Amino acid sequence: MGSYDDSTGKSKITEAKTRYTVLGSFFAIGLCLGVVISERIYVQKRSLIPKPRQLVSRIAESMHVGHRAAGPRNELEAYLMKIAPEKELLLAVANKNTMWDGMLDTFTKGIKRAKVSNHMVLALDVVTRDWCLENGINSWLMNLTISSAQKGTGDNHAVSAMKFGILKSFVELDYSILLSDVDIAIFKNPFEHLYRDSDVEGMTDGFDERTAYGSIEGFDDPSMGWGRYAQYYKHFNLNSGLFYIRANNRTLDLLDRLATRLAHEKYWDQTAYNEGIFFLSHGSYKSPQVSVRVMEIDTFMNSKRLFKDIRHRPKGQQPPLPVMVHVNYHPDKHERMKAVIEWYGGNEHALDAFPGGSEKGTRR
C-alpha cells in the first residue's frame, strides 16, 4: 500500500479553502456591485417617469400638437393660433357701452402697458370690433342673443350671464382662459404670476387673509348641551369678473352647467359660479369637482382691499405693485380706475378724493 503524506493532504485542503474563499469574496463583491448598479438604474428610470400632472400635461401637449397638425377646426381657432400660440388667452367681453366714457380704452392701455400679446376683446357688436381694430387690439366679433331668462336684469348682468357659454367655446378648443372684466387696471403681465396648479384660479371678494383664504368659525346652540358647539369653514366668494380657467373635462362640465342654468334661470352669474364650484356632491348630485386656487389678495387686488386698507398704510408697509386691480366694489368705476393708475404711477394724492366705501366720509 502506498504511504499517505498527512502534511500534503492538509496543504491541499487549505489551498482549496483559500480558493473557495477568494471566489466567494469575488462573488459577494460582484453581487453587491450588481445590486448598487441596478438600484441606480432603477432610480434613474423612475425619475424619468412623469408625475401625474406631468403626464396629463404631456398628453395634453400631444393632443394640442395633433390639433395643430390637423389644422384649425374653425375660424376662431385659426385666429387663436395666431395670437395665442401657447394656448393661453386674456379674454375680455365688451360691447359699445364700455366705450362711452373711455373705460375700454383705459383697460386696453393696461394690456399694452403690461405687454400682454396673447389677448382678445370679444366684441358683442360691430362698433366695438371696429374700435379694437383701429386701436391695435386683438378682437373677435361674436353676435349673441340675450336669453329671455336674463331680460330685465340690466345690460351688464345680462352680458355677464352669457360669458360662461362664451368661455365654453374657447375651452372646447383646448384654450385656457384668463377672463377679465374691463373695470380692471393692469400693471404687469398676469400670465407671469399664475400658479396653474388648479382648474380654477380666481380673484376673491375677500379683503383680508381670513375673508379671502378662509377661516374655521364656531357655532353655538346651547339647547344641545354637551354637543352645543360645532365648526364650519367660511370664506368670501370668488369674483366672476377675474379668473383663470384651465382647459379640461372638469372645467368644460362646469361651464356647460353654468351656461345652461343661466340660459333658463334668472340668477346672478357670480352666485351661480360659486355654487357650481363649491357646493359639495351629495345624494344624486355630483359637483364638477374642479380644484380651486384663490389668487393672492395683494397681487390680484380688489378695490375694497385697496381703498379701505392698502392706501392708508405707510409707504414702507405697502405691498409691491400689484398685477391687476379690479374696481369691483365701487360704482364710480372708471374714475377710480384712472386714479389707481395715477397712484401707482407715483401721484401719492391721486386717491385722496375718494371715500373708502361708496358713501362720502367713509374712510375705512
The answer as to whether 44 is a domain residue is no
Cell 355677464 -> residue: 160
Q: Per the domain annotation, does 21 fall within a domain?
A: no
Give dist(CA 26, CA 32) in Å, integer.
10
DSSP 127: H
Tally Cβ neighbours within 10 Å of residue 270: 17
Is 119 part of a structural domain of the chain?
yes
Given a cut of 70, the residues of the chain with pLDDT beneath it are: 1-69, 145-158
- Could you read off the pLDDT of 173-230 as tens digits, one per residue? 999 999 999 999 999 999 999 999 999 999 999 999 999 999 999 999 999 999 999 9
Kindly state whether residue 156 falls inside one of the protein's structural domains: yes
* Residue 363: per-residue pLDDT: 74
Query: 211 and 355 in contact (C-beta within 8 Å)?
Result: no
State the Cα–Cα distance between residues 267 and 271, nearest whole angstrom.
8
Q: Containing domain of residue 115, as a range?
A: 71-209+237-344
The pLDDT score that the predictor gives to residue 105 is 98
* Angle between helix 249-264 and helix 269-278 axes, rounded to 10 deg: 140
Q: Could you give the CA distance from residue 153 to residue 155 in angstroms, rounded to a whole number?
A: 7
pLDDT score at 35: 44
Tell me whether residue 290 is in a domain: yes
Q: Enter the pTM of the model.
A: 0.79
pLDDT at 285: 97
Q: Looking at the domain assignment, is residue 254 inside a domain?
A: yes
List helix spans (H) across 172-318. 209-213, 249-264, 269-278, 303-308
190 within some domain:
yes
Number of domains in the chain: 1
Name the 3-class secondary structure at 226.
helix
Residue 179: give its domain's CATH number.
Answer: 3.90.550.10
Q: In this structure, are residues 208 and 197 in contact, taking their beta carbons and an 8 Å threshold?
A: no
d(CA 207, CA 211): 6
pLDDT of 58: 40
Contacts of 106 (CB under 8 A, 6+ apart): 185, 334, 337, 338, 341
Is 4 contained in some domain? Answer: no
